[in-house]
Structure 1
Amino acid sequence: MHPDRALLRRHVLPSAIAAAFALPIALLVLGSLRAAGAPPPAGLELVPRGASLDAYGRLADLLPLGTYLRNSVVVVVLAVPLTVVVAALAGFGIRLLEGRAKVVAVAASVVVMLVPTSALWATRFEVYASAGLIGSLLPLVAPALMGTTPLLVLIYAWAFGAVDDAQLHAARLEGASTLATWSRIALPQVRTATLAVSVLAFTAHWGNFIDALLYIRGQENFTLPLGLNTLKVLRPTEFPLLLAGAVVFTLPSIGVFLAAHRIFTDDPAAALRGRTSTTSVRTP
């Protein structure tokens, strides 16, 4: 490849994309540093006058952030591992299918993924209400019992496709059960896919506002996105509080993304399937 093209593909283009995504985060942080009660700037203001962290202190005084954070952490601690286990088992089940059965399973997963979430709200509400779960955190964890989203199941199904058939046949001849084959042979070969699924499951459950709005009752059960929604009644001069809340809400997702940055190699598709090459391995 021409050196200029390689420089563009490996450095310039990724840097431009990263800057486009980082700009809203930077504006959130800078906006949260504005002085309390100050009117919005008339033009572009990179560094607010009288910048301070007062908005974060006022936010903690105004809202029970500790309670909101605790509830959100409880949801992701329960939902993310459950999502990984269910999605991995379902994906491995699809991997073991052959011929038309596998095509039907993948097609069905895609169809389910295309169903609008809003079409399930009424049915889910009735199910949760009949089980007496409305008002608790359990409805926010319940989607993990189905792998959270079919996309995560398909990621595992595709990743398990790289597991050699000979290994599966050998395990079967040795008398290993399907569960043992999954846990001891297949799953260790798709650790990167597990990491990717964990990140996606975390972001899905951490930012789940609609389900919290539908099913949660009582401020003591509010998750962080639902609790911060109460800030929408603020006046424009108090928007630094709203932006401070947005920063508190966003930082955990950014932290998880950065912690999992090793999956983003030159060939992420190969990494998800447990394959590496001299061009895709990144040293820590």
Structure 2
Amino acid sequence: MKRKRRLLIVIVNLFAYLFAFFYVLPILWTVFSSFKEETDLFAWPPRLITKLTSINYQLVFSKTPISLFIRNSFLISISATALTVLISLMGGYALAKYQFRYRNFVSNFTLSMLMIPLQVIMVPVYLVLSKIGMINTLWGLIIPPAATPTGIFLAQRYIHSAIPDELLESARIDGAGEWKIFFRIVLPLSTPLLAAISVLSFTWRWNDFLWPLIVVGSPKLYTIQLALGMYAGEHIVQWGPLLAMTTISMLPVLIVFLSLQKYFVKGITTGAIK
């Protein structure tokens, strides 16, 4: 039995490593190809790097206002993430710890919103933004995705499982108000949750292409994802600069995830275990 169990563990780990390798392979290909010359990109048989060159990155920084695009992406991603974290934590805390009429209905309705894709509500949201003058502005990219059912759902499950009711009741007995309880007790104890929502939200906002494409028309407001389209024309694609800018666009998300990885995993799994 022990041998069979060990063999099963080895097989499962082998499949996991193979899956991880094939998952990371396109990313590695993108990074290596960004240092290739144009003639070596589609050589057969394929080679890693025949001649190391930085010409693609030089073209990106010399002929593209990439600092403007990165600034816009950071401004949108950080602002939207901060709003998402605050709204999700407040909404999740209310659904997890307060007793009010129709609480179960609100909770189930929030959960059902996870099944509605962006494409379904895209037109109504666009019409609302056009009425209030947020089209072709950064606010049009920050405000609409600030409240997400995913964040509220994760916050509700985490706070319900990780923060005991007795702790909150003892704080109320000691005279603490609701806002003080939220900022002094709930917020510090929700660090893994904050990390999980921050990573998810930052990744979504940074990598978003469809919504900025609809809302933004001025090149001065382009995010780095929209800027990638500058190298892909109708008939010609500049693969070298495109891969170089793609590599640059992956770095912030990778840094954020690696720096918050430990808290991210804990925040995702805590709400799933009772």
TM-score bin, normalised by smaller chain: 0.7 to 0.9
TM-score for both structures, normalised by structure 1: 0.84
Residues 268 and 155 (structure 1), Cα distance of their counterparts in 2 relative to 1, 3 Å cut: closer
Provide the residue aligned with 1:58 in structure 2. Answer: 59
TM-score for both structures, normalised by structure 2: 0.87
1:58 maps to a residue whose letter is L
Provide the residue aligned with 2:93 in structure 1. Answer: 92
Measure, in 1, the Cα distance between the counterparts of 2:38 and 2:213: 29
Alignment check: 8 A CA contact 1:32 1:55 kept? yes
Provide the residue aligned with 1:110 in structure 2. Answer: 111
Deviation at 1:17, TM superposition (A): 4.0
Residues 265 and 200 (structure 1), Cα distance of their counterparts in 2 relative to 1, 3 Å cut: closer
Provide the residue aligned with 2:175 in structure 1. Answer: 175
Deviation at 1:68, TM superposition (A): 0.5
Residues 86-133 of structure 1 show CA distances to partners (whole Å, capped at 9, x for unaligned) of: 110001011124498443232111211211211212111111111111
Name which of structure 1's ranges 236-245 and 108-117 shifts more when overlaid on structure 2. 236-245
Within a 5 Å distance, the mapping from 1:118-137 to structure 2 comes to 118-137=119-138
Name which of structure 1's ranges 176-185 and 248-257 shifts more when overlaid on structure 2. 176-185
Provide the residue aligned with 1:251 in structure 2. Answer: 251
Provide the residue aligned with 1:156 in structure 2. Answer: 155
Provide the residue aligned with 2:6 in structure 1. Answer: 4
Name which of structure 1's ranges 53-62 and 196-205 shifts more when overlaid on structure 2. 53-62
Residues 48 and 39 (structure 1), Cα distance of their counterparts in 2 relative to 1, 3 Å cut: same
Alignment check: 8 A CA contact 1:40 1:237 kept? no
Provide the residue aligned with 1:281 in structure 2. Answer: none
Measure, in 1, the Cα distance between the counterparts of 2:112 and 2:159: 21
Provide the residue aligned with 1:280 in structure 2. Answer: none
Measure, in 1, the Cα distance between the counterparts of 2:235 and 2:28: 22
2:212 maps to a residue whose letter is A
Provide the residue aligned with 1:196 in structure 2. Answer: 196
Measure, in 2, the Cα distance between the counterparts of 1:68 and 1:42: 35
Residues 18-45 of structure 1 show CA distances to partners (whole Å, capped at 9, x for unaligned) of: 3233211100011112213556122332
1:164 maps to a residue whose letter is P
Measure, in 2, the Cα distance between the counterparts of 1:160 and 1:237: 48
Provide the residue aligned with 2:209 in structure 1. Answer: 209
Runs of 5+ unmatched residues, structure 1: 276-284
Provide the residue aligned with 1:20 in structure 2. Answer: 22
Provide the residue aligned with 1:81 in structure 2. Answer: 82
Residues 187 and 39 (structure 1), Cα distance of their counterparts in 2 relative to 1, 3 Å cut: closer
2:119 maps to a residue whose letter is S
Alignment check: 8 A CA contact 1:39 1:236 kept? no
Deviation at 1:164, TM superposition (A): 0.8
Residues 260 and 267 (structure 1), Cα distance of their counterparts in 2 relative to 1, 3 Å cut: closer
Deviation at 1:4, TM superposition (A): 3.1
Measure, in 1, the Cα distance between the counterparts of 2:100 and 2:137: 43
RMSD over aligned CA atoms reads 2.9
Alignment check: 8 A CA contact 1:80 1:144 kept? no
Deviation at 1:150, TM superposition (A): 0.7
Measure, in 2, the Cα distance between the counterparts of 1:175 and 1:20: 56
Alignment check: 8 A CA contact 1:83 1:201 kept? yes
Name which of structure 1's ranges 10-19 and 69-78 shifts more when overlaid on structure 2. 10-19
Deviation at 1:265, TM superposition (A): 6.0
Measure, in 2, the Cα distance between the counterparts of 1:13 and 1:39: 30
Deviation at 1:168, TM superposition (A): 1.6
2:110 maps to a residue whose letter is S
- Work out the percentage of aligned pairs sharing the same amino acid: 22
